[in-house]
Chain A
Amino acid sequence: MKSRFPFWRSAITLAIVGAVLILGLAASYAQEPIPSLEGLTLADSAKAPQITPSKISFSGTGLITMYDPCTGLPVPKPEFDLLTGRNDPAAYWRAADRQVSVRVKFRRLDPSVTQAWVAAWGTFGGFPFRSVTFSGDESDWVTFTSRNAVPDAIQVHDAAWLWGAKITGAPWAWIGITRHRLYTTNEAPLTSRVYRELVEWTTEWAQGLPDDDKQIADAIMNGFAATGVIKYGAAGWDTAEILCTGDGMCGGMKEVFYDATATQGVHVARSCYILKDADTGPEYQWNSMIIFSFGLGRTEHPWSAQTIREVNDPSCYPCPEYLGASSQDDCVDIEVRRAYEFYAPGDGHCINFLEYDGQIYLYDLSFGTGPWPGTWASLPYGTKQGTQLHDFRVNYMNTALDYMRGTIYYDSGTGACTSLDTRLDVDSDIIPDEISSQPEMRYDWSTTP
């Protein structure tokens, strides 16, 4: 019986089929299209994985090196380590078309595996497959770059990647899920030492905001005020110290706010004003500043109670009548309460200024307040007194602090303004800028623009 297909036809057919099979097999290793999640069956996932991602280190342009404020060291790499259980966040500053790069090591759980194709599905489109080889129980570093760009926005990302592998002779199989916290900040940080806590906090607080310095600074101030992640009123005069202990004084608070906004690429000036004696005679205006506010992050006052001799009536100044603590009929109200007190001639208060759109805005992290507009037309330097302090006092200081404690003349009942024995606390609102052209208040300003 004569065959319907001649031998040569069968040979050609077999050759074509063989070639297709060989090419298909080659393609499955070389350019195999990434299978969809649906291509992986439950049966595959139920199997014990033969390899698994064991170390993941974030890399690439725009990656921010974050520091631990307590150790002063960078947050260790790799960020993800299966064996130690470490899973630290990573941060990039935002940019158009920024892709996430990771360097990954895989751990071999089945000693027979020498090679595999690995890919991931999930956040930012996952990672296209790469070949992984094993000469021991852990692979070399393999670099993956995300299929899609990270959104160009200030954002907190909870990334999750489902890792799959194809090992010779087996179908694609899931080999693990890794989850990571990623932050995208507004701009490249302005400081070389970027603290992890500040990246985390400020990105959460400024999430979704446009690249607008004032909106970001406002959001950061509001974030500190609302969360109480750090507190004012105990020892701490630099950013690392305050982030590590959670407490600080104003000199450190201005550094924290500077570093916090700098983390998002926003610059603020740092400034301190030191209380000096404005009087040229025997009076001392003023010995100290008295502040009742609890301060940032506190619900009660940390400092001791003290006697406050309050002069609140404008008609009582500059010569209040004070007849003693027991008198009810003079200008002085006695109160014992807790307060912060900052002494002349060396101490004062520290704040920040944002120069924005031709205006200067004051931020006071110690008390979680700001922006305060209208305090200065330009950043203050050197000695400022009398009327020079008017806008600063009216638009901020008289509200922010309560009393100025001074050694000022008072009438002790003699009808003459000659007594200087007891320091009185005068409501800063009722102290004029000047009396007879003599300044009533004087501050020395140190400002780092």
Chain B
Amino acid sequence: MNRIRKLALLMTASFIVLAAAWVLLSQLGGAKVLPSLASEEDTEFDQAMQKVRVVVQDPEATVDWVSVYQAILKLKELRDPRCAPLLAQLLAREKPLRIVESSPLPGVMPPLEMLQSVAIETLVAVQANEQLPAIESVYRQTRFMVLRDAAGSAIQALGGAVGE
């Protein structure tokens, strides 16, 4: 009887420890690393990240900027902070995008700046304060006023100071 009670206690304790660990990981945003909890959101996140990664890692790649734009909007919607370092790398890109011929052209600024603008909005959505320097760099250097305004608003939203 004692053996059975001990086994039951051990199982209960194990369950409590596992549950606590799951709650803790969830709070830290680490729930997504648990394979058993892989969800549709993870798949969407990975697919969106892959589209952005191409733009960041291969400056010569010809891309459909609208598709990448939609991918960043998806990241904004998912609000997963793991996207922040990649988006900060996108902000650092200077080489203009090579876009597929079938892409419609944006009106107010070039395709790269359109992506950077929505990347900045996404960094605000995930509260990526650690990426403030990257946004400040865009604010100081861009010659496109719509992007500059987006960067200025983001700096203020993340608690930074907009200076001339």
Q: Measuring CB to CB, which residues of chain A are less than 8 angstroms from any residue of chain B?
A: 233-235, 237-238, 249-251, 270, 272, 274, 303, 340-343, 345-350, 366, 446-448
Contacts and interface: CB of A to CB of B under 8 A. Distances in A.
Contact of B108 (A233, A235, A250, A340): A250
B78 to A, nearest CB: 16
Interface string B102-117: 0011111110011001
A346 to B, nearest CB: 5
B146 interface: yes
Given A249-B105, A250-B107, A272-B146, 5 more contacts: A251-B107, A345-B118, A347-B106, A349-B107, A446-B148
Contact of B104 (A237, A251, A274, A303): A303
Interface of B: 66, 69, 73, 104-110, 113-114, 117-118, 143-146, 148-149
Contacts of A235: 105, 110
Would you list the 7 A-B pairs with minimal beta carbon distance, nearest first? A446-B149, A250-B107, A251-B108, A446-B146, A272-B108, A342-B107, A251-B109
B146 A274 contact: yes
A42 B99 CA distance: 66
Contacts of A345: 73, 118
A346 B108 CA distance: 9
Contacts of A348: 107-108
B105 A251 contact: no
Contacts, number: 62
Contacts of B107: 249-251, 340, 342, 347-350, 366
Contacts of A249: 105-108
B151 to A, nearest CB: 11
A115 B108 CA distance: 61
Contacts of B144: 237, 251
A108 to B, nearest CB: 50
A346 B145 contact: no
Contacts of B105: 233-235, 249
Most chain B CB inside 10 Å of its own CB: which residue of A249, A346, A366: A346
B106 to A, nearest CB: 5
Nearest to A253: B107
Contacts of B148: 446
Contacts of B110: 235, 237, 251
B109 A237 contact: yes
A233 B143 CA distance: 21
A270 B69 contact: no
A343 B113 CA distance: 14
A270 B108 contact: no
Contact of B145 (A233, A340, A448): A448
A234 B103 CA distance: 12
20 contacts: A235-B105, A237-B110, A237-B113, A238-B143, A249-B106, A249-B107, A251-B106, A251-B108, A251-B110, A272-B145, A274-B108, A340-B107, A341-B104, A345-B118, A347-B107, A348-B107, A349-B107, A349-B108, A366-B107, A448-B145
B155 to A, nearest CB: 15
Nearest to A273: B108
A122 to B, nearest CB: 44
Contacts of B69: 346
Contact of A350 (B73, B104, B108): B108
A274 B108 CA distance: 8
A208 B112 CA distance: 43
A341 B104 CA distance: 8
Contacts of B73: 345
Contacts of A272: 108, 145-146
A204 B77 CA distance: 53
Contacts of B113: 237
A346 B106 contact: yes
B149 A347 contact: no
Contacts of A349: 107-108
A67 B49 CA distance: 43
B73 to A, nearest CB: 8
A113 B73 CA distance: 78
B134 to A, nearest CB: 19
